[in-house]
Structure 1
Amino acid sequence: MSKNNFESYCKHILMPYQDRIYSMCITNLLIFYLSSPLHTPSQYPQLQILILKNTESNRISNFLPHLSSLPKLSSLILMPIDCFYNVNTLYHTSFRLHILKYLKVSLNESYTDEPLSIAKNHYSLIEHFVVDSKWSIDPLKVSLSYLTQLRRLSYKELLNSYFIETCSEHLILSNLAHLSFQDENI
């Protein structure tokens, strides 16, 4: 899409109807930041579903804290184009979105300096959590400590872990009704 076409789209479609938009798929956050009608998420008070696809992980990390200004955001899908170098920031910020019910994350290989801390005073309202990437049991256990309302959990591949037996005995999710691991080793 050319710049002129995009500006026309923003002026004639997005701006007049931004209070009626309930679903948005953004494939490049750079455009989102550069276009004035888009750069403030709070201008979309009806937004319920947000998909950030093929976007650089640092842009997603910088953008996530602004999502708390969306009062109706219930579904978030994150599919970065590159690797997250601190995946803890992603999860910590996502778990703190107060009305979020569905979270799907499709990560490439990720790296983190420190593990996410186990939740003590903060719990997420997320009911459906999908991880469409490889993950080990250790970060899974910590993530589940935030997700006390979880009803559906889906994982693409659970990596082998030395602690799998000791960790699994401590996972108690009273609301969990559906569990899916797309893994040959389980």
Structure 2
Amino acid sequence: MERRIKRSSDDTVYDYNNKKKTKLLITTIKSCFENLANEIFYEIFEYLDYNDIYHGFFYLNNRFQNLLINLNIPFQINLSTISKLHFDLYNKNIFQPNKHRINILHLSNPFIIELIFSPPRLICDFIHIEKLIFEHINSKYLDKILKHLIHLPKLHTLILSPIDYILNPTIIFIQIFRLKKLKYCKLTYRIKDNKNVLPIDFDQYEQSSIEYLIINSPFRYESFQKLFIYLPKLRYLSINYLLGSNHSQIDFYPIELKDLKYVSFNLHSIHFHQFEELIKKFFHHIKVLRISTFNDSSYSHAKQWEELISSSMPNLQIFDMNNSYTSAMLRFLYLCLSGHFRSKFWKEKQWFFDHQYDCHESSNNGIFYSTNPYR
């Protein structure tokens, strides 16, 4: 019994001494950390996201509060996950006093966007913004803010994703194409009826400086002629819902886009002969072509592809095709024609394809696709 009491007493003393040493060690480390020169913290901050700097240092003591308030480095602000409560303090202590220093701004809470830019002309105060990302923004409020972006002299990257339906995408394009320094633009918007989307009216625009354009939304085939007139510096084009009509034929006149090297389309109701017209008139210089189709047999003939690539895309290095279907007729067609994509032409370019389909009797789903799109 006495031995157990003595052992318990010894353990208590050991725990006390251990905790005391740990506390002393933490105090020593904290003291050494806080004794570092301001210049060292400035160098550390250059490698950190500003949100992490704020939450990690601002409330330590007055010294760090003053350091952050007077921090003379470009700010990269990502408020995609901040709560309303935390934003009020952040907005007061950091955001508003330093808005003239922010060069990257990412906002995805529609309520916070409206709090910051109320009225919308306040965005003009962010004179050093180079990259602006608005996700889940109300479309009506977006229209109001876009009018003022022309006053941001350094803005070169714009990413927009409205939370609700867009009534008239033309309004968005009008405002975006007015931005003289813009190089990269990514748009993701929804409309109520994809099948009845109207062509974009480009008549009011000046030539744009955009080089990279990504449209993750319905876009009419008929709009291409004017689009390319206003985008002479285009290098990269991706449209995930390019919509046409299998019964319409448009006579485009050629535009030489020497800088355009990358094209990616998800095609809807665009027959091969219409797509062929696009290639011949606009895409002579491309090096990368990625296309996806659905239930369209017109893209299944290897010979027409060989002729089109040889005559109109001599610099093509990557050909990535993905044709999916849900009909028995197309399954039979690809079973018969897929072998034609193994000719000398395709072997020399090292472009290979595969055909997979659901073996279940009640299903006709299948896909014909590139397995090695790189040359």
What is the TM-score with the length of structure 1 in the denominator?
0.84
Counterparts of 1:1-186 in structure 2, within 5 Å, are: 3-35=84-116, 40-109=122-191, 115-118=200-203, 122-161=206-245, 162-163=247-248, 166-167=251-252, 169-182=253-266, 183-185=291-293
SS of the counterpart of 1:50?
strand
- Highest RCO, 1 vs 2 (Cα 8 Å, sep ≥ 6): 1
Task: Measure, in 2, the Cα distance between the counterparts of 1:46 and 1:164.
Answer: 46
- CA distance in 1 between partners of 2:156 and 2:119 (Å): 19
Deviations 1:10-30, CA, capped at 9 Å, x for gaps: 111212322321111122444
Backbone CA RMSD of aligned residues:
2.6
Change (3 A) 1:6 1:177: same
Aligned length: 184
Superposed CA offset, 1:82-127 (max 9, x none)? 11111111001100111111111111126777851346x7200001
Q: Which runs of 5+ in 1 are unaligned?
A: none
Q: Percent identity?
A: 29
Max Rg structure: 2
Label 1:4 to 1:38 Cα distance change in 2 as closer, same or farther (>3 A): farther
Deviates more, 1:131-140 or 1:148-157: 131-140
Q: Secondary structure at the match of 1:166?
A: coil
Q: C-alpha deviations, 1:122-177, integer Å up to 9, x for none? A: 2000011001122221123332221111111111121123445523x534322212
- What stretches of structure 2 of length at least 5 have no aligned partner? 1-81, 267-290, 294-298, 300-375
Q: Paired residue for 2:355?
A: none
Asked whether the 8 Å contact 1:29–1:60 carries over to 2, the reply is no
Give the 3-state SS of the residue equivalent to 1:107 in structure 2: coil
Alpha-carbon distance change, 115 to 79 in structure 1, aligned in 2, over 3 angstroms: closer
